[in-house]
Amino acid sequence: MQGTPSLVGDLPHCGIAQVWVVKLSPDIELEEAMADSKLERARPLSPHLQIYKPAMTMVMSVFHRLTGVALYGGTLFLAAWLIAAAMGKGSFEAVQWVYGSLLGRLVLLGFSWALLHHMLGGIRHLIWDTGRGYGVSERALLARLTLIGSLVLTVLVWVAAYMVR
Amino acid sequence: MQRSMETPLKRVRGLGSAHAGTDHFWKQRATALAGIPLTIAFLVIVLSTVGKDFATVKATLAHPLVAILMLLFVLSSVIHMRIGMQVIIEDYVHEEGPKVLLLMLNTFFAIAVGLASAFAILKLAFGA
């Protein structure tokens, strides 16, 4: 490995494992380089997201993480709703008014889509955990089903919401 | 034949250098699976409160089945989201100080949101 350490890395969000070989210039001894941290410059980084043409599966992977982050923040809306209800009529009606406003409904629309998309994306991951669904066409199909499914379910939820109102 | 400094006991325990093994991996899947029916239940519960007045919503949330499902949903979600955010922090924050601080804040946030929600659900269920 001396002189030519090979790095094996997984590219996040791409589902491809890539292998690449690094050649340090011969005048840099590995130990010396480590000692004065020249290695940090000599060592190539894994190519990052902007290098790749966005693929459906990659975009869906990013969406899964983004919706997860959104839901993380979105728990505050649930907590606020529950706490307001526990506090009493006045605070509950205030929160309901905010959530019922145009902006509030837009945020809740986004929240419900994120929740459903993350749920379907999670099911996709659970399928992968069983070792299935790794083929090219299967991956594309799962990605499409996740997106279409989340949009359809979100519409259904909101149609139901307006119907029971 | 021993190939490394690892003792047989350490290998059998399978906890690795972080002493947690596959704990997070497994919990993330368990809470993901639990999250599917709980999310559906949560959406149905919320939908049933749309357009209802305070007394009705309060009565709905106070129903034991509703309260239990909401508690399970909150518990499963905050465990799941804490692990998820930890992975994100570990992916993008490499400086030791900020990383440890963010990991700690992540834990605080998950516990605070979970406890606050659970307290509110219990208060509604047991009567104010």
Q: Which residues of B touch A126 (CB under 8 A)?
A: 29, 32-33
Domain boundaries, chain B: 30-126
Cα four-point dihedral sign B9, B10, B11, B13: positive
Place of tokens 């239940």: B41
> Which architecture characterizes domain B30-126 according to CATH?
Up-down Bundle (1.20)
Amino acid code (one letter) for A98: V
Residue of chain A whose alpha carbon sits nearest to that of B67 = A82
pLDDT at B40: 98
pLDDT tens, per residue, chain B with 128 residues: 556 778 888 888 888 887 888 899 999 999 999 999 999 999 999 999 999 999 999 999 999 999 999 999 999 999 999 999 999 999 999 999 999 999 999 999 999 999 999 999 999 999 85
Is a pLDDT exceeding 80 seen at residue A38? no
Q: Average the pLDDT over each of A3-17, A70-84, B45-59, B61-75 and give the range with the smallest value.
A: A3-17
Q: What are the residue ranges of CATH 1.20.1300.10 in chain A?
A: 56-164
Is a pLDDT exceeding 60 seen at residue A129? yes
Mutation test of the interface with chain B: which of A61, A82, A128, choosing the one with the most B Cβ atoms within 10 A? A82
Chain B closest-CA separation from residue A92 CA (Å): 7
Cα four-point dihedral sign A13, A17, A18, A21: positive
Instruction: Say whether A76 and B113 touch across the interface (CB within 8 A).
Output: yes
Is a pLDDT exceeding 80 seen at residue A8? no
Cα four-point dihedral sign A44, A49, A55, A60: positive
In the predicted model, what is the mean pLDDT of chain A?
Answer: 83
Determine the topology of domain A56-164 in CATH: 3 helical TM bundles of succinate and fumarate reductases (1.20.1300)
Instruction: Say whether B36 and A123 touch across the interface (CB within 8 A).
Output: yes
What ipTM did this prediction achieve?
0.90
Instruction: Say whether B120 and A122 touch across the interface (CB within 8 A).
Output: no
C-alpha–C-alpha distance, residues B100 and B108, integer Å = 12
Both structure tokens of A132: 């299935």
| Inter-chain contacts counted by CB atoms under 8 A, chains A and B | 81
Residue of chain A whose alpha carbon sits nearest to that of B110 = A72
Instruction: Say whether A93 and B54 touch across the interface (CB within 8 A).
Output: yes
**Is B35 touching A (CB cutoff 8 A)?**
yes
Instruction: Say whether A119 and B39 touch across the interface (CB within 8 A).
Output: yes
Task: Decide: B109 and B83 in contact? Cβ < 8 Å.
Answer: no
**Is B123 touching A (CB cutoff 8 A)?**
yes
Mutation test of the interface with chain B: which of A63, A72, A124, choosing the one with the most B Cβ atoms within 10 A? A72
pLDDT at A6: 44
C-alpha–C-alpha distance, residues A67 and B106, integer Å = 17
Q: Which residues of B touch A115 (CB under 8 A)?
A: 39, 43
Overall average pLDDT of the A10-24 stretch: 49
The backbone torsions φ and ψ at residue A132, rounded to the nearest 5 degrees and listed phi first, read -100, 165
